[in-house]
Amino acid sequence: MAYLDLPEFEEMDPQIQEKAKPILEKTGSLGDIFKLLAKDKKIYFATDTMVQTYLLEQTYLSYEIKEAIALLISKENSCKMCVDVHVKIATMLGLSEVRIEEILQGIDSMDVEDKEKKLLHFCTRASQKDNYKMTKNDIDELKAIGWNDNEILEAVAIVGYFNYINTLSNVFGLGK
C-alpha cells in the first residue's frame, strides 16, 4: 500500500490520461509508479522523457545492457517493485529466463564478455553514495577496453535514472 493517495485514471491530468489510456487498454491497470508520477504533471513528463530517451529509444547501448543495469541497480537499491517490473520488461525484450536469473545472481554470474562485466561493475559502483570517489582512471579503464564516451555517459545516465525511480518507489512504499 502506497504511503500517499494515488490518483486513479479519472483523476489524472488530461495530458497524462492520453499517455495512460493505451497502457490501461493493453494491461487493464496502471502501476503504482505511474500513478505516483501522475500526481504532478511536471514530474510525470520529466520522468517520461527520461524513460523514452534512455530506455525505449534505440541508443548507444543495447536493450540487454540497459535492462541489466535496470535490474542490477534496482536490486542493489532493494526496490522489489522495480525488479519485478524489469523482469517482465526484460522478458518482453527477449531476454531468456536464464539470462535474467544470471543478472539477478550478480554480474560475476553472468555469461557475458569481460568488457560488459566491467561496464556493469562500473555502473553498480556509480550507483553508490560514495560515487564522488570515482576518478578519471575509472573512466579511462572502460575506454581502454573499448567503451566510448557516449556509451559510458549513457550507462551513468541510466544508473542515475534508476537511483531516482528506485528512491521514489521505496520512499513512498510502492509494491509493499
- Whether residue 26 is predicted with pLDDT greater than 90 in this model: the reply is no
The whole-number pLDDT of residue 136 equals 98
* Cα 52 to chain centroid, rounded: 11
**Which contacts of 95-100 are long-range, i.e. CB under 8 A and separated by 24 or more positions?**
95/64, 95/67, 99/64, 100/71
**Is residue 3 over pLDDT 80?**
yes
Question: How confident is the model at residue 33, as a pLDDT?
Answer: 94
The pLDDT of residue 54: 86
How far is residue 128 from each of residues 82, 90, 121, 163, measured CA to CA in Å?
A: 17, 24, 11, 9
Q: Is the pLDDT of residue 173 over 80?
A: yes
According to the model, what pLDDT value does residue 1 have? 83
**Maximal C-alpha separation, the chain:** 53
Burial of 66 (0-12, 13-18, 19+ CB in 10 A): buried
> Mapping DSSP to helix (H, G, I), strand (E, B) and coil, where does residue 161 land?
helix
Q: Which residue shows C-alpha cell 514530474?
A: 43
Place of cell 521514489: 168
Rg of the chain in Å (alpha carbons): 17
Q: Are 73 and 170 in contact (CB under 8 A)?
A: no
Q: Which of 30, 79, 82, 28 is closest to 55 using CA atoms? A: 82
Residue with the three cell numbers 527520461: 50
Residue 92's pLDDT is 87
For residue 117, give every residue at least 6 positions away whose Cβ sits within 8 Å of its Cβ, in sequence order, or none: 107, 108, 110
pLDDT at position 142: 98
Residue 10 predicted with pLDDT over 80: yes
Residue 22 exposed, middle or buried by CB count within 10 Å (0-12, 13-18, 19+): exposed
Place of cell 542515475: 160
What pLDDT, on the 0 to 100 scale, is given for residue 93?
87
pLDDT of 69-126, one tens digit each?
999 999 999 999 999 989 988 998 899 999 999 999 999 999 999 999 999 999 999 9
Mean pLDDT of 19-26: 89
By the 10 Å C-beta count (0-12 exposed, 13-18 middle, 19+ buried), 65 is classed as buried
